[in-house]
Structure 1
Amino acid sequence: MRTSNKNEDLKILENKLNYTFRNKSFLKNSLTHSSYANEKNLGIINSNERLEFLGDAILNLIVSQYLYKKYPNHSEGELTKIRAKVVCESSLAYVAREIGVGDYLLLGKGEESTGGRNRESILADTTEAIIGAVYMDSDFKETNKQLLDRFEDNIVKAVEKGELFSDYKTELQEKYQRSPNSKIEYHIFKEEGPEHNKIFYMNVFLNENLLGSGKGRNKKEAEQMAAKSALFLLGKNNE
């Protein structure tokens, strides 16, 4: 595992990204987690959070533009749901794992010891930061090319095959949002494993009635799996 920002390591990452940075400091900055910046007294402004902010906006714009042009017969609501699947945390973390981004992160000791290199939220945020870094190092045209090379297959899966990372929580919420007295809540009922590699078990309730259960490597994933279980059981009951 590579855990530094040495130039020889960054060259390997650049090969995986299929992009060579003119200014390596943008790439280094995109891989610097706030926990590391704080621990080394670099200041939060020198973490990847500003690039993450920029990358999030660019990603949403490029995916939105692509969907608008590619699918002229889809409604605003349909396009919004597709985009949500493509740019959701699980999708971004998946892209990061494909590239091996976790190996190049600079983390504080606390995040390192609790499995931060494989944490969904950290990987997703870093993907956005790298997008921001590419944009700052090049221009919109180059960033657009880089993103579509990486995400176009995910878009096709989401649109044409109905696959990818479904937002089951939103789907479940939409099922009941028209009823003013409906209240959906998620509660952890069990945790297993060491601190750095926990499994969370989650129940989802509608007005205190159990709808479904699920498990995941973090609370968000467990909530999604509980919502997926609820949707499946609701579908079975309506058959």
Structure 2
Amino acid sequence: MKKSLTPLCKKLGYHFNDPSRILLALTHRSFGGQNNERLEFLGDSIVNFVIAEELFSRFQEAKEGQLSRLRARLVRGATLAEIAKEFGLGDYLRLGSGELKSGGFRRESILADALEAIIGAMYLDGGMEACRQCVLQWFESRLDQLTLEDTQKDPKTRLQEFLQSRQEALPQYDVISIEGEAHAQTFTIECNVSMLQDKTIGIGSSRRGAEQQAARKALEHLGVDKANG
């Protein structure tokens, strides 16, 4: 790889004793040969454990379900991709020509997977404590912003439970449009709720995100959520 990894390692806050480990962590399967999928598997388990341990310590009054939802919010792909972008990780990825042409270096799933792979590589290179310190440093600002109010169930789940409690039909989500290239699509989703005269619309970079937005608007119209959503 022509580009020096030193600036990236400085941003990560970790110096690899074996540089081949981070190189492998940055290698997508499209590149050919060995890739980062095994390291991603390891890193996924580690980041879940480190964040779970930290949440367990910070929120001593929280119930299991609350802790699970807080962890899910932190270690979801979108959050991992945000952190990867903060490090400029896309500039260092090793991708095949097809992924390069389609903008794979910007794709959230690839960025999130690479970050997990780096966590796995750090664990193998420096052990659990060094890995834990880095992960907690990366997530520090997000951890500091968390409160138990963030453990509320997602809008789609709350809308479904609200309707079920009133023996109403479940909401129906329909795709109205999908625009943009494969790596940067925008989804428009329509949510149809029997208790509402008008359908609600959600727009997002993923189908799930658009559905959640449409469900949130439906909850607002039903008076379940405040209008500030």
> Scaled by the length of structure 2, what TM-score is found?
0.84
Which of 160, 177, 187 is the matching residue for 1:200?
187
Matched, 1:59 2:54: no
Matches within 5 A, 1:82-93: 82-93=70-81
Which of 13, 17, 20 is the matching residue for 1:22?
17
Q: How many residues align?
A: 225
Whether contact under 8 Å (2:174, 2:191) holds in the other structure is yes
Alignment match, 1:106 = 94
Percentage identity across paired residues of the two chains = 38
Helix, strand or coil at the partner of 1:213:
strand
What amino acid is aligned across from residue 210 of structure 2 in structure 1? Answer: A
Q: Structure 1 237/218 Cα, relative in aligned 2: closer, same or farther at 3 Å?
A: closer
CA–CA separation in structure 1 for the residues paired with 2:106 and 2:65: 32
Matched, 1:95 2:83: yes
Shift in Å, 1:27: 0.4
Q: Give the superposed CA RMSD.
A: 3.0
Shift in Å, 1:177: 6.7
CA–CA separation in structure 1 for the residues paired with 2:20 and 2:167: 51
Cα displacement string for residues 114-155 of structure 1 (whole angstroms, at most 9, x for unaligned residues): 222111211111111111111111111111100111112212
Helix, strand or coil at the partner of 1:106:
coil
What amino acid is aligned across from residue 216 of structure 1 in structure 2? Answer: G
Which of 182, 190, 193 is the matching residue for 2:177?
190
Matched, 1:74 2:96: no
CA–CA separation in structure 1 for the residues paired with 2:149 and 2:224: 22
CA–CA separation in structure 1 for the residues paired with 2:68 and 2:111: 23
What amino acid is aligned across from residue 43 of structure 2 in structure 1? Answer: G
Helix, strand or coil at the partner of 1:52:
helix
Cα displacement string for residues 10-46 of structure 1 (whole angstroms, at most 9, x for unaligned residues): 1111111111111111101111111222xxxx1xxx2
CA–CA separation in structure 2 for the residues paired with 1:236 and 1:160: 19
Shift in Å, 1:222: 2.7
Q: Structure 1 235/94 Cα, relative in aligned 2: closer, same or farther at 3 Å?
A: farther
Helix, strand or coil at the partner of 1:197:
coil
What amino acid is aligned across from residue 213 of structure 1 in structure 2? Answer: I
Helix, strand or coil at the partner of 2:4:
helix
> Unaligned stretches of 5+ in structure 2?
none
CA–CA separation in structure 1 for the residues paired with 2:19 and 2:108: 25
Whether contact under 8 Å (2:193, 2:218) holds in the other structure is no
Matched, 1:230 2:225: no
Shift in Å, 1:99: 0.7
What amino acid is aligned across from residue 35 of structure 1 in structure 2? Answer: S
Of 122-131 and 198-207, deviating more is 198-207
Q: Structure 1 183/110 Cα, relative in aligned 2: closer, same or farther at 3 Å?
A: farther
Shift in Å, 1:59: 0.6
Whether contact under 8 Å (2:203, 2:209) holds in the other structure is yes
CA–CA separation in structure 2 for the residues paired with 1:172 and 1:30: 40
Whether contact under 8 Å (2:70, 2:150) holds in the other structure is no
> Scaled by the length of structure 1, what TM-score is found?
0.80
